[in-house]
Amino acid sequence: MTNLVGRHFDRARRPSAGGVLAVVSAVPALAVAGWLLAGLPLLLLGWFGPLPMAVTGLAAIALLCVYGLGRLPETVEAGASQTAAVVAIAVASGVFNGFFRGEQLIVRRDPATYAQYAIWIAEHGSLPIPYGDFGGADPALRFDSMGFYDYHGAVVPQFMAGPPILHAAGHWLGGVPGLLLAPPVLGALAVLVVAGTAARLAGGRWAPLAALLFAVCQPILYTSRTTFSEIPSVILLFGGLSLLLDARARLRVPAPVQPGLDGDDPALSGGQSERARLTAALAGFVFGMALLVRIDGLRDVLPVLAYGGFLIAARRAARRHGAPSAPGPRPRAARLAMEGALGPPLIGGLAVGGLLGFLACYLLARPYLNYLGGSLRPLLAIAAAVLVLTVAGAVVAARSSPASGDRVRRAADVVAALVVLGVIAFAVRPWVETVRRMPATPEDRLTAEFIGKTQLANGLPFDPARLYAEDTLYWVIWYVGLPVLVAATFAAVVIVRRLGRGRGFGWLLPLAIIGWTTATTLWRPAITPDQPFASRRLVPVVIPGLILLAVWALRWARDRLQRSGYGSRLPVAGGALLLLAPVAITSIGTAFTPVDRGEADAVARMCAAIPDDATVLIVERVTGDRFTQLVRGQCGVPAARVAYPAGADVPREADVRRMVGEVRATGRRPILLAAERAQVAPYGPAAQVLRLRTRQDERSLTSPPDGTWSLSTDVWMAEPAAP
């Protein structure tokens, strides 16, 4: 006891290496949540700018960190070398991805939509996006484009506002180059968060391996180099897990905690109960803010709602049946009763964060909400069912007798068997099912057209209705390797059985989130199936979750070897290499090849060529899809497309000339843009203002990407002469 007290007071004077790792791995989630908390109301009010965000955003981050991390007990046992290794891997990841960053600004797919969204709010501070003056309404004017809807007299960006709010900070600090560096910085923070969660669940010595596996995985490299939403999701989801584990630790005697293998909770104490509840509320809030980043985050956080209800039910049941309250070793029911105090604040924080996400979707992305209605309504129904079952379960559990240990163990054994059967079912799925969807909407038809062209480019049979969703488990194997999948499956089985025996309760929510999201993602990925684009579906939970389980399995094997009297260093090193090698081998094909390089400079030159007093009319289909919002937002001049007849790529000449006259009547200079010289030459002298020859991501349907494809983009400009 004397040594314990001495170590505690020593840590009060200076932070331990484990304390540093615990803090630096929790700060990113609180920072992201605080920035979003400040940014959303400012954006809704039209005041989103660098000065208001510097004041309110930094204040919100500081407040969350003070209340979330103040007087944090020892939650991680880690040496200085282990903490330094995690930080070094995160920094190296950020530098590496920053050097090989992408430059997706021309709107072809989601990253450029996010980039143009961020550029608009960074420079204008408000939504929606106004049309600009075109001399009045005209039936041939179109203001929508790829990733941007024409909605109720203005332009509304697709997607949730969370990622652009984060990426806008990079634009304020360094313009477009700063915007393009924001994703690598977020990727480095995600490495810290995943490593911190691994340290809390498996032990600090395993955090560097988890960080390295995560950092070198190809989908993580892919989504850390350009403006995607998945990396912020990782930070919030796994940061929320870390904060909740910290809340549990606050309920314990302030002594070193060695989480992970044995799972036997030490004696609980109420010494930090208030701070524990506050940390649990912050954890719920961080989970809820995942909806502001991705509306799919609702699915990912449903287990949090059920877990909070379980905690409430356990506490009420324990009180009803007289759980002991004196300090000292406690049975499982008493420990759950103590931790049940975390249930209400966890659910409360989740509700606040989730409501902010829904509010942002309703007010800022209504057309996107309508577009997702077919898949979002079933998800909302599932969420409502989970809420009802959670409330009903809490009431029933509080009124019934606790389940016997034998019944709980048998239920855990059934769940463990289902884990194995589920993996086997996904493995055999390609042999018993081919997933297809017949196009029923214009969006479906575009997707089918894209898949058909990609099949031809890949030398595959032409079947544009095919979605390749039956292959999702093999996507996982491509990117994390069979050893990680096997180790993670084994770990899940062992942990489930241990939970049934009242041990390792800290794994309950992480395992529920990993299992639920992995199963639903693999069953219905809901994304165009070309790689590496489709691999982003695995990033928020599946890949980091399997990595956490795999490193825990390696720890389990190490401890078994030690208990058997065998040396463990060489086998553990071999096991780590076995986990790491397939991940690195898959990644090496694209890790050192940047994509879309040159876009930033090419776009800057094009914008410089467009007069400041111009109003741009885009008179070709593909150019209109890709450049309308770019010209409007990045070049800073009004832009619209001229509608073209069905089956054509260019508009009627009469429509173009009529709108040229209408623009000139406003006092602005009409400028025409198209992909080819011949498309603008009839209206005036033509000049090429963008000529880009670069590389783009590969589009592979049946194998992981191992290279890039060429990409050519041209834009020609003409200014019609005055009559």
Q: Could you state, in order of their start, the residue ranges of all structural domains in the chain?
A: 15-100+180-433+468-587, 595-718
C-alpha 481/C-alpha 474 separation (Å) is 9
Instruction: Name the nearest CA neighbour of 298 among 193, 232, 242, 381.
Output: 381
The 10s digit of each residue's pLDDT in 610-661 is 999 999 999 999 999 999 999 999 999 999 999 998 888 999 999 999 999 9
Nearby residues of 371 by Cβ (< 8 Å), 6 or more positions away: 158, 443
> What is the per-residue pLDDT for 535?
96
**What six digits make up the tokens of 444?**
């479906």
> What is the per-residue pLDDT for 394?
65
> What is the per-residue pLDDT for 395?
67
> What is the per-residue pLDDT for 217?
97
DSSP sequence for 631-652: IIIIS-S-EEEEP--TT-SS--
Instruction: Name the nearest CA neighbour of 548 among 197, 300, 244.
Output: 197
CB 479, CB 704: distance < 8 Å: yes
C-alpha 605/C-alpha 626 separation (Å) is 16
C-alpha 388/C-alpha 684 separation (Å) is 66
Instruction: Name the nearest CA neighbour of 157 among 366, 444, 359.
Output: 366
**Side chain identity, residue 53:** M
**What six digits make up the tokens of 463?**
């079947």
DSSP sequence for 273-317: HHHHHHHHHHHHHHHHHHHHH-TTHHHHHHHHHHHHHHHHHHHHH
The 10s digit of each residue's pLDDT in 391-426 is 776 666 656 555 556 787 888 889 999 999 999 999
Q: If you average pLDDT over every residue of the chain, what do you get?
A: 89
- Residue ranges of the chain with pLDDT lower than 50? 1-12, 253-271, 324-330
C-alpha 567/C-alpha 170 separation (Å) is 49
Distance from chain centroid for Cα 524: 17
- Apex CA 506: angle with CA 503 and CA 511, to 5°? 100
C-alpha 115/C-alpha 179 separation (Å) is 8
Q: Is 312 exposed, middle or buried (0-12, 13-18, 19+ CB in 10 A)?
A: buried
- Apex CA 585: angle with CA 581 and CA 590, to 5°? 145
> What is the per-residue pLDDT for 525?
93
Whole-number CA gyration radius for the chain: 27
451-455: list long-range contacts, CB under 8 Å, 24+ apart. 451/528, 451/529, 451/530, 451/701, 454/530, 454/699, 454/701, 455/701
Percent of the chain topping pLDDT 70? 90
Cα distance from N-terminal residue to C-terminal residue, the chain? 94
> What is the per-residue pLDDT for 179?
97
How many CB atoms are located within 10 Å of the residue 54 CB?
Answer: 13
**Side chain identity, residue 474:** Y
